[in-house]
């Protein structure tokens, strides 16, 4: 009910695809089914494929693709699963009341609720992460092979959702090795199942580009996007920790940070060491990424005082929620109910006292960074709507520009983009011979505009310029 209410609220306000990444995830899923060259290769790189694959049953419905719900539905389902697995894991260790506290602290966070209402990859990762936590906790007491297999599947799902999932695998394999009574067999079985996912991704990248590590260093990777430009935290562990911890505070709220950190001490005192170590791994991964992988975080309270990747702070919320559960369990038995209510109240105080979305940094980032994109997307769609005849074709790029065709309701198979392989190459290499598309939509100076200029057969119809973005130019043959 909470998930559905948040999804409806976000949808009703038109925020579903404010994140540029949300727009891209939705359109990547669609192009697997709807493209000049649909199929396996359209999963692309560097984004991992599981979020897109989960959207496939929904994105084939045209209206759900146009309004973004095709991406919201699987995100919301994953959010519910994540909360259920966190409840089950904390409840197994500390009792059902503590499990309820953990689930509440996670699920009532407005930044979490906003992301689960959008086509982002974080909810998919949370579901896999917390399923993996539950099955590893369950294995310690049951020593069952079913827990090993389920943990392997969950780890593979995490590794196919976000690259944080790759970082988890050796630690979980070591956990099985140390806790299994039949030591190496459980670790080997887990590793064999979990490792299949990243191995397949390496093979897929090799198939797609000839480079197994294309996702890491290819033209669309985080390294390429950053382009070697310096940023705060690069090569500096202290600054990287400062930026990530600040992102955590802005995403979680000061109340949850204080309660969660106090609770982690209580969890360690209760010897719940593995869950604390395990849930701390994603935050450690992001600090490492800030330091070494060209993956910056920009926050409005630290230089350069802007918004970029602030949502990475939400990856610490399961850890803090688990700490809150341990703190509730540490209270005297007769006071646990009161302690649970007080913990949730303290953690929610910031959001209740200041209920404006302006306080939700993930929402604020998506709004600030999408102003220009939303303006030119709508203006371009409005211009083409009365003029474009279905099936006549549009030469264009993918990425942000694909949002125009989703808003316009034009099937992606009407567009010719770089993802269409030989058709695209024939057009950009010999535009004087391949000029089948009636329209061309270019970002000023991009390869589409260069191709149009070399063909000599297109005329500029409209230039759409908005502040903070290069012009969009619309050509007709």
Q: What is the pLDDT of residues 107-137, one digit of tens each?
A: 999 999 999 999 999 999 999 999 999 999 9
The answer to which of 194-208, 228-242, 284-298, 339-353 has the lowest mean pLDDT is: 339-353
pLDDT digit string, tens, across residues 307-325: 999 999 999 999 999 999 9
Q: Is residue 390 part of a domain?
A: yes
pLDDT digit string, tens, across residues 70-121: 999 999 999 999 999 999 999 999 999 999 999 999 999 999 999 999 999 9
Q: Is residue 444 part of a domain?
A: yes
Q: Is residue 246 part of a domain?
A: no
Cα dihedral 342→346→352→354 (10° resolution): 160
pLDDT at 345: 93
Rg of the chain on CA atoms, in Å = 24
The structure tokens 């200029």 sit at: 453
Segment 317-335 mean pLDDT: 93
In contact, 28 and 417? CB cutoff 8 Å: no
Query: CA 131 to CA 283: how far, in whole Å?
Result: 18
Query: CA 139 to CA 388: how far, in whole Å?
Result: 59
Element (H, E) at 300: none
* Residues spanned by the domain of 391: 371-476
pLDDT at 294: 87
Q: What is the mean pLDDT of the chain?
A: 95
440 forms beta bridges with 395, 475
Query: CA 193 to CA 181: how far, in whole Å?
Result: 20
The model's pTM is 0.96
Element (H, E) at 173: helix 164-179
Calculate the CA 463 to chain-centre distance: 33
Give all strands of the β-sheet with 415-416 in edge-to-edge order: 415-416, 394-395, 439-443, 472-476, 459-464
DSSP string, 430-465: -TTT----SEEEEETTSHHHHHHHHH---EEEEEE-
Q: Is residue 231 part of a domain?
A: no
Q: Is residue 178 part of a domain?
A: no
pLDDT at 226: 85
Q: What is the DSSP letter of 316?
A: G
In contact, 172 and 136? CB cutoff 8 Å: yes
What is the tally of structural domains in the chain?
1
The answer to which of 59-63, 298-302, 433-437 has the lowest mean pLDDT is: 433-437
Q: What is the DSSP letter of 423?
A: H
Query: CA 136 to CA 424: how far, in whole Å?
Result: 47
């Amino acid at each position: 009910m909470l998930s559905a209410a948040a999804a409806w609220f976000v949808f009703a306000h038109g925020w579903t695809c404010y994140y540029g990444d949300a727009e891209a995830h939705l359109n990547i899923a669609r192009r697997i089914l709807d493209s000049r060259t649909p199929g396996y290769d359209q999963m692309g790189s560097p984004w991992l494929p599981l979020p897109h694959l989960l959207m496939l049953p929904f994105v084939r419905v045209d209206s759900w693709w146009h309004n973004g719900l095709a991406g919201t539905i699987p995100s919301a389902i994953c959010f519910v699963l994540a909360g259920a697995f966190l409840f089950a894991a904390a409840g197994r260790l500390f009792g059902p009341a503590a499990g309820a506290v953990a689930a509440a602290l996670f699920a009532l966070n407005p930044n979490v609720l906003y992301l689960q209402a959008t086509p982002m990859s974080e909810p998919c990762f949370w579901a896999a992460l917390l399923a993996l936590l539950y099955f590893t906790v369950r294995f310690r007491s049951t020593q069952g092979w079913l827990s090993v297999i389920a943990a392997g599947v969950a780890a593979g799902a995490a590794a196919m959702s976000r690259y944080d999932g790759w970082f988890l695998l050796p630690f979980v394999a070591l956990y099985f090795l140390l806790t299994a009574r039949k030591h190496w067999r459980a670790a080997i079985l887990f590793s064999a199942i979990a490792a299949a996912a990243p191995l397949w991704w390496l093979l897929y990248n090799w198939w797609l580009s000839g480079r197994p590590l294309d996702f890491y260093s290819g033209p669309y990777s985080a390294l390429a996007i950053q382009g070697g430009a310096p940023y705060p935290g690069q090569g500096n562990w202290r600054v990287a920790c400062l930026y990530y911890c600040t992102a955590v505070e802005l995403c979680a709220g000061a109340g949850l940070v204080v309660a969660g950190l106090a609770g982690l001490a209580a969890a360690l005192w209760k010897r719940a060491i593995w869950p604390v170590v395990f849930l701390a791994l994603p935050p450690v991964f992001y600090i490492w990424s800030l330091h070494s992988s060209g993956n910056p975080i920009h926050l409005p309270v630290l230089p350069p005082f802007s918004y970029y990747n602030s949502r990475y702070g939400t990856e610490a919320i399961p850890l803090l929620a688990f700490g809150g559960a341990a703190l509730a369990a540490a209270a005297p038995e007769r006071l646990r109910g009161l302690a649970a209510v007080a913990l949730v109240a303290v953690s929610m105080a910031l959001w209740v006292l200041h209920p404006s979305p302006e306080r939700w940094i993930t929402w604020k980032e998506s709004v600030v960074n999408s102003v220009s994109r939303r303006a030119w997307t709508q203006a371009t769609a409005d211009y083409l709507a009365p003029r474009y005849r279905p099936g006549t074709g549009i030469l264009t790029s993918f990425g942000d520009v694909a949002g125009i065709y989703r808003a316009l309701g034009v099937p992606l198979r009407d567009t010719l983009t770089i993802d269409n392989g030989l058709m695209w190459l024939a057009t950009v290499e010999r535009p004087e011979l391949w000029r089948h598309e009636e329209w061309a939509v270019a970002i000023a100076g991009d390869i589409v505009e260069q191709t149009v200029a070399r063909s000599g057969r297109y005329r500029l119809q409209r230039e759409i310029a908005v502040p903070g973005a290069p012009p969009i130019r619309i050509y007709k043959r």
